[in-house]
Structure 1
């Protein structure tokens, strides 16, 4: 970085940047060095249309808040599936998050290995893809969800490539806390429908998330949607 600070500016888009890797491997010292030596002019790019803030959400609240302070515009970017950072932060929540949070370092290590395993990626995808947490929302990053929502609540009203809004994602995994926060920010989001014409209550019933169904029925009784 001392020899050429512009190295932190690459790649510009669509590939994994040094900052993304530093954040993913939980190295705030390296991330800070990249930011300072580049004068804040650095690439945040990550794989599959993601950015360094996605990696931060997998790590900690402190890392997430640091990147939000550097570039709040990252919250508005969409990945190749049309998901915003709020979609992602919601999808990695889980109602039984404590167990998964304990093993977060192992999950993050494998996430990095997963994206660096070419040309074996197709084989790994077939063998392991169904079981890992970033695909099925089976672990809980915990606190990073809150600063992401606070920084930019606008994506609450944005659907991803499958027509799902963040509230539908929360309902599909039974995270009532996230649903309550969405409704507190935007009460009329309760009635928003996905491309199949379903509200979050329909999704909760389909996924058999009975606590969320109970919440939805209570809201319907008092507010209607």
Structure 2
């Protein structure tokens, strides 16, 4: 058709859409190639003042290459903006395809990166807001001063990245000494990137800014709020703990106000969750206690049937059997204690009921782990084949470690171990500025310190004590297997 009537390619339909734009949308490389090679005056118009290159960005690098190589119209397409002021580079930056971004950058002058849409956003703002770190890096490499651009609200690309919770993009500015000045830049609302990271519930961004960026945490926005004040608005418990622990670890402070006017963080959701979970955990604890009690009455190796020791355990002198008795007793006692704590905590309905709930969780975990260890000890006590109990050891230990890793990941704040330890270290300060911050954190966020301490205790107990317990039981089981083999 274009060979016979090439003028048709310059016409548009009633929606102001050209054949070239429709060919791009249909993903027909052959149609696009036919139009661009045979129709020099073809139209590239599309809806909302877009051109064919806007659409080609989402169709692949080959389509983009064909349009950019289209002479003489190709390079000009890359600089045209649609009705909202967005250029094809804006579109490509939002999609995150680095090859397409590089292709467009090679066809336009570096100043094209400065182009802003109707909201004042440059392509770098768009890439940062979407978290496309490689695209943002390519844009800054093509035009280094683009990092200084601000949108209509006065925000830099770091503000955009912090609002989206994209820590990798924020680290681009942290790694470059020449960009450290924009880390503390305030937008028209007085918010720094740290303010926006806290408001977006992005503790990883806040940690990067505080730990490596060394930003100021005492800056107040136009409403007189510091980043620590914004953390109080978090409705998620884990977000609140992560943000408060991160900010307090680096000495952040709230705005000056009378201490009797400070309101504690609303822990109503925690109380409701505790009440819903306590019944289920109590049932689990009772079941564990029942299993432990039954195991004590059905001991491995059975009982003596003759002589003066009728009714006595056959393996009572074996170290591995003693390990079984100790672990089974520990499982029984801790599960019963968990039941008592859960029932008492739910009945009391006091503000500190979460403390008994936390203690009950530790007891329940300890009883479950003890029951698993007791099972392995019983298996090792009655098995003479070393390969059997060795395989059982690695299966149980591996599954248990995997389970603990998953659980720890689910209940852990989204901050590093270094920050949590740094927070505890700062909370130990009794004098001077650290003492003031400690009192304020305890008054407004009383559950943060307890959660961090219990979390670290959980990790220490189940990543150090549990493997050590497995090793001890495994060694006794290995020795018992060798003794049984010698007797046989």
Instruction: Please provide the CA RMSD for this pair.
Output: 2.1
Q: CA deviation at 1:25?
A: 1.3
Query: Are 1:29 and 2:30 counterparts?
Result: yes
Q: CA deviation at 1:13?
A: 10
- Tell me the secondary structure at the aligned position of residue 72 of structure 1: helix
Aligned to 1:74: 77
Which structure is richer in relative contact order (CA contacts within 8 A, separation 6 or more)? 1
Rounded to whole Å, the distance in 2 between the matches of 1:83 and 1:51 is: 11
Rounded to whole Å, the distance in 2 between the matches of 1:15 and 1:222 is: 44
Q: CA deviation at 1:203?
A: 1.3
Identify which of 87, 90, 113 aligns with 1:87.
Answer: 90
Rounded to whole Å, the distance in 1 between the matches of 2:179 and 2:123 is: 22
Q: Is the 8 A contact 2:173 2:179 kept in 1?
A: no
Name the structure with the higher helix share. Answer: 2
Aligned to 2:8: 7
Structure 1 segments of 4+ aligned residues over 3 angstroms from their partners = 220-225
Q: How many residues align?
A: 177
**Correspondences of 1:12-161 after superposition (within 5 Å):** 15-38=16-39, 40-70=40-70, 71-93=74-96, 141=97, 143-152=99-108, 153-161=110-118
Aligned to 1:202: 159
Residues 14/198 of structure 1: CA separation in 2 closer, same or farther (3 Å cut) = farther
Aligned to 1:164: 121
Residues 220/69 of structure 1: CA separation in 2 closer, same or farther (3 Å cut) = same
Query: Are 1:185 and 2:185 counterparts?
Result: no
Q: Is the 8 A contact 2:174 2:180 kept in 1?
A: no
**What are the superposed Cα offsets for residues 144-175 of structure 1, whole Å, 9 maximum, x if unpaired?**
22201221133211110001011111110111
* TM superposition score normalised by structure 2: 0.34
Rounded to whole Å, the distance in 2 between the matches of 1:147 and 1:60 is: 11
Where structure 2 has 5 or more consecutive residues not aligned to the other structure, the ranges are 183-488
* TM superposition score normalised by structure 1: 0.72
Residues 78/13 of structure 1: CA separation in 2 closer, same or farther (3 Å cut) = farther
Larger radius of gyration: 2
Aligned to 1:127: none
Where structure 1 has 5 or more consecutive residues not aligned to the other structure, the ranges are 94-140
Aligned to 1:214: 171
